[in-house]
Amino acid sequence: MPTGDPAGSVPLDLIPSSLIAPRLRKVALFAIVLGVVVAVGVGFFASTGLAVLVGAIIAVPTALSALLTMRRRIWLTGTTIHARHGLRTRSVDASRAVSAEVVVRAARVSQVGVRIGDGNALVSIPLALYTDDGGRELDLLGLRSLADALNAGELAPAVAVASVLIGQLRAEARGAGLEERPLYRAVRTAREAGRVPQTVLTDHEVAGLAD
């Protein structure tokens, strides 16, 4: 479970921060070192204040971006989804959702996600990434917990998305190939409809994924 998340919460990160944190730390460190080197070089020809300013301009944006990216988390507590991006955290109660959409980005690396809103906030949860020969999907516990949270409400589109997630769980349980997995079929649906690089599936298309 990500550090700082409440006890009993379920991580919904498609790519756990533990996998990307080492690389982001290296990026931040490299940016800082580069900024210091440039500042020292500029210091030979300009004032100390100007040298520090130039070094900061080079180092701070990249290092800060990397460090903020390391803080990104998505987790579920009960039926409430929390999404932390940098210094902000948005929370949406899936059982009170007023909108639930399947969003597909069909490209060289395709992404399928769900966008949920409760009238006060909107959160997006990546569910799967696919290439031509494989992909990465949200883990079973995350899919099951998110499906249960969506099923707790009365919004028809949310229940339909939950059905897609349950279908995905069943496909994974029997070791189905990509073509038999609902989330991958979402990418194929978008491509066949010519709605690229990004689209929101219609209610009818979402229902078709669960069949």
| Cα distances (angstroms) measured from residue 122 to each of 85, 99, 112, 119, 209 | 13, 9, 16, 8, 23
pLDDT score of 4 = 47
- The whole-number average pLDDT for the span 79-95 is 90
Name beta bridge partners: 100. Answer: 116
Give residue-wise pLDDT tens across range 22-36. Answer: 776 788 788 888 888
Query: What was the pLDDT predicted at 47?
Result: 86
Are the C-beta atoms of residues 172 and 140 closer than 8 Å to each other? yes
pLDDT in tens, 139-161: 999 999 999 999 999 999 999 99
CA 82 to chain centre: 12
% of the chain surpassing 70 pLDDT: 93
d(CA 199, CA 95): 25
CA distance 170 to 106: 24
Query: 73 pLDDT exceeds 80?
Result: yes
Indicate the pTM of the whole model. Answer: 0.79
Q: How many Cβ atoms sit within 10 Å of the Cβ of residue 62?
A: 16
pLDDT, position 147: 96
Cβ(208)–Cβ(189) below 8 Å: yes
Tokens of 141: 């516990």
- pLDDT above 60: residue 165: yes
